Amino acid sequence: MARTPLMAGNWKMNTDLDEAVALAKAVSAEADKASGVDVAVCVPSPFLIPVKEALAGGKVGLGAQDCHWEDAGAFTGAISTSMIKSVGSDYVLAGHSERRAVFGDSDADVNKKVLKILAGGLKAILCIGELKEERESGETFNVCATQLSEGLAGVDAAMMKDIVIAYEPVWAIGTGLTATPEVAQETHAYIRSWFVENYSQEVADAVVIQYGGSVNDNNVDDLMACADIDGALVGGASLKADSFGRIVNYVKK
Ligand SMILES: O=C[C@H](O)COP(=O)(O)O
């Protein structure tokens, strides 16, 4: 089944207002040159509205980097899915490894966020991936299976159309240590097989599974040549319009 790849930039806690608007405009221009690929940027919360305005008329989707699972209330610093939706966003990241490691997001927390994102009419990009020591001890598939089963609890097959999976080996994030295409493909194939077992062949064939971890303009073509890699979640290289533009306009092999 043909899946449309998703190239998503995760700007993390970077850019100021002027930089965010300029980068969004540049990404939009790059995306206009691309075909057969979806593009999105997940931006710092204060810049959701100006970036939305900068993207107007183009085809780049807008995403937030996190959300709370409650609608409203005494949760200082948090933002709700209704807020995110109300400013015209399409996506929300859930379970990014930095949220898990720095802010203590558990799989149960991630699951509550995923369910809230879907209930709010948004698409969830569920991030999963193993630590270096977990890979070294042969736990990669088990870690991914646990993060999938717990993160997707209560998500039925019909809801899967609004889920994107981002496989990001934690040891490859921001380190320059990209997984080789072979290593990435092996885990992506495992993840797709997990969906066959736990959902259906139809769901497995349709689900977009991005790779993330030091994706750049030099390695994107080889990664995208892998059968089960359906795009990328890009950190550092998404902050440079020329690099992210090259990623969006990857060369199909
Ligand atoms: O969300 C993006 C990932 O954390 C990858 O970041 P990176 O491309 O800087 O390694």
Please return the burial class of 88, using the count of CB atoms within 10 Å of its CB with bins 0-12, 13-18 and 19+.
middle
Quick one: pLDDT at residue 178? 80
Annotate the chain with three-state secondary structure.
Answer: CCCCCEEEEECCCCCCHHHHHHHHHHHHHHHHHCCCCEEEEECCHHHHHHHHHHHCCCCEEEEECCCCCCCCCCCCCCCCHHHHHHCCCCEEEECCHHHHHHHCCCHHHHHHHHHHHHHCCCEEEEEECCCHHHHHCCCHHHHHHHHHHHHCCCCCHHHHHHEEEEECCHHHCCCCCCCCHHHHHHHHHHHHHHHHHHCCHHHHHHCEEEEECCCCCCCHHHHHCCCCCCEEEECHHHHCHHHHHHHHCCCCC
pLDDT in tens, the chain (253 residues): 589 999 999 999 999 999 999 999 999 999 999 999 999 999 999 999 999 999 999 999 999 999 999 999 999 999 999 999 999 999 999 999 999 999 999 999 999 999 999 999 999 999 999 999 999 999 999 999 999 999 999 999 999 999 999 999 999 998 888 889 999 999 999 999 999 999 999 999 999 999 999 999 999 999 999 999 999 999 999 999 999 999 999 999 9
Active site residue 188: no
CA of 99 to the centre of ligand 1 (A): 13
Architecture of domain 6-248: Alpha-Beta Barrel (3.20)
Annotated catalytic residue within 68, 96, 130, 134: 96
Q: Answer whether 95 contacts ligand 1 (Cβ < 6 A).
A: no
Output the six-digit token pair for 70: 């409650």
Quick one: pLDDT at residue 1? 58
Residue 9 carries which DSSP code?
E
Annotated catalytic residue within 98, 130, 134, 168: 168
| Residue 172 alpha carbon, nearest atom of ligand 1 | 10
Residue 114 exposure: Cα atoms within 13 Å on the Cβ side: 31
Question: What is the CB neighbour count within 10 angstroms for residue 176?
Answer: 9
CA of 10 to the centre of ligand 1 (A): 7
pTM (2 decimals)? 0.98
Quick one: pLDDT at residue 163? 98
